[in-house]
Amino acid sequence: MPSVIGVVAVILFILYVVLPLIFRYSPAFQRQLVFLPYTIGLRWPIAVNYSQPELHGLSGTRNFYMPTEPKISVGVWHILPGNLTDKSFKTTEESLACGNPVVLYLHGNSGSRATGHRVELYKLLKSLNYHVISFDYRGFADSSNVVMSENGAVTDATRVYQYIRKFSGKSKVIVWGHSLGTAVGTKMVAQLCAVNQPPDGLILESPFNNISDVFRNHPLTLLYRPLSVVDRFFTERLQSNNVAFDSDVHIAGVECPTLILHARDDPIVPVFLTKKLYEAGLKSRPAEWSPLQMVEFHEDLNCAHEYICRVPQLPSIIEEFLAG
């Protein structure tokens, strides 16, 4: 039988040599860890019937698929506002022009548009009489199973946004990103502002300044910090592998009203990384642009990384933001 010392030596070798080397020299492995669309080799979650969103308590919801590039399509849910759920519309396009605000939701890594805390937020927004358009990036859920990248996720989000704008008329369109989705949203909105096609607002829930700082401060890299190898093996090639997600750079181009929401007890994205993003925005955005706001939620609310949707004051915060 192998000795305890031998087993420990093998484990340490895997942790401190094999995994860092794979992460550094395998762009595919690096992208997998950033996006986390798989669990034990399976697209996650499994056994979800996306064509029946009512199974998740989402009445008045249509499932459809949208092409975003040649041979690439994404799965989409359109959740009708509460006050339109019982009305008859021939198409999604017809309902978008009814005047209710439209929220384009960009989810974080792992899971899908059917994940529980995301569905909770949809229901809240539906109760406020907002449309919700939520989709899965390429590589996730029932979207095209292709290589993921920062640019690919931004392209998918941009195509869905353009679809909404084409049919929304004078309805307000808000981009709402959560976690990794905040980085997708910030880059997309900066690009839209550059071509004079901005949304009416950007909401960033649990955002970070850049993915490199997330790796440096993530609980999973705690083992490597004493050896000072986090940058050399985990962050040095993020840019060249198209997964840099530098929101603190892109926020300089976000001209529309922007609201940052973050919980002080977030164990995944420490609040100081969010403050770095906020401060970068304040420094880089011209004073005459629309306001940039940040709201922090106390630890007693137990929001952590995913449950700001449960804050009692959130509806009034959202409505005040939209009215501004």
Preceding amide of 286 cis, omega within 30 = no
Token duo for residue 7: 């087993």
Question: Dihedrals φ, ψ of 178, to 5°?
Answer: -120, 130
| Domain chopping of the chain, boundaries | 1-35+222-243, 40-221+244-323
Q: What's the CA gap between 103 and 164, in Å, rounded?
A: 9
Assigned token pair, 59: 């009445």
Active-site positions?
Answer: 179, 266, 305
CA distances, 132 to each of 61, 96, 103, 187, 211 (Å): 9, 10, 5, 20, 27
Q: Which CATH topology does 40-221+244-323 take? A: Rossmann fold (3.40.50)
CA distance 9 to 22: 19
**Over the stretch 16-41, which tens digit does the pLDDT of each residue have?**
566 666 667 677 777 777 787 765 45
Q: Which residues make Cβ contacts (< 8 Å) with residue 296, sequence separation at least 6?
A: 262, 263, 264, 271
Q: How far apart are CA 78 and CA 273, in angstroms?
A: 32
| Contact status, residue 112 vs residue 136, Cβ threshold 8 Å | yes
Could you tell me the CA-to-CA distances from 194 to 82, 150, 186, 224, 255 in Å, in that order? Answer: 34, 19, 12, 40, 9
In the numeric block, the tokens 């548009």 are attached to: 113
Tens-binned pLDDT, residue by residue, of the chain (324 aa): 457 776 666 665 666 566 666 667 677 777 777 787 765 455 667 778 999 999 999 999 999 999 999 999 999 999 999 999 988 777 778 899 899 999 999 999 989 999 999 999 999 999 999 999 999 999 999 999 998 999 999 999 999 999 999 999 999 999 999 999 999 999 999 999 999 999 999 999 999 999 888 877 876 666 666 556 666 666 677 777 788 899 999 999 999 999 999 999 999 999 999 999 999 999 999 989 999 999 999 999 999 999 999 999 999 999 999 998
Retrieve residue 175's tokens. 């981009």
* Reported pTM: 0.90
Q: For residues 149 and 37, is the Cβ–Cβ distance under 8 A?
A: no
